[in-house]
Amino acid sequence: MADNQEKSLTLSQGEVNALKKAIMYLKFSCEETESVMYAGSPLINSVFSKLLVIDDLGEYTIDFFKKRHPENERFVLTKLDKLELENGRKFESEVKENSFRECLYPFSRK
Torsion of CA 41, 70, 110, 104, to 10 degrees: 0
Model confidence over 36-87: pLDDT tens digits? 999 999 999 999 999 999 999 888 888 899 889 999 999 999 999 999 999 9
More confident residue, 57 or 29: 29
Q: Stretch 83-101: mean pLDDT, rounded?
A: 95
- Against a cut of 0.85, is the pTM above it? yes
Q: Give the integer Cα–Cα distance in Å for 41 and 54.
A: 20
Asked if 106 and 75 count as a contact pair (C-beta separation under 8 A), the reply is: no
pLDDT category at 3 given cuts 50, 70, 90 is confident
Torsion of CA 65, 68, 71, 73, to 10 degrees: 90
Asked if 89 and 43 count as a contact pair (C-beta separation under 8 A), the reply is: no
